[in-house]
Structure 1
């Protein structure tokens, strides 16, 4: 579903692209996930900090 192309350069360059047709069907879903992530980044950071700061269970 994802085409990975490695270019033998210094430094190495790698490109990723959705494959036709199956990978391209994911574009809408990935765009929606990206938009959600941008809208909720502060909530994610706050939740992560709260989680990281909790006491450890043993």
Structure 2
């Protein structure tokens, strides 16, 4: 099963830039900014010291 569409996208607080990257509008509310940061962590995970990526 895939990831659910984030609320910040559903409520139109995002846009795609020229490189087709999902960006957040500058006037987005705090909850949308927090959700956007969490979303980025999910789609761009950082490996640990051993180079492993664990996602739950």
Quick check: TM above 0.5? Answer: no
More helix by share: 1
Which bin holds the TM-score, normalised by the shorter protein?
Answer: 0.3 to 0.5
More strand by share: 1
**CA radius of gyration, larger in:** 1
Q: Structure 2 length as normaliser, TM-score? A: 0.32
Q: Structure 1 length as normaliser, TM-score? A: 0.31
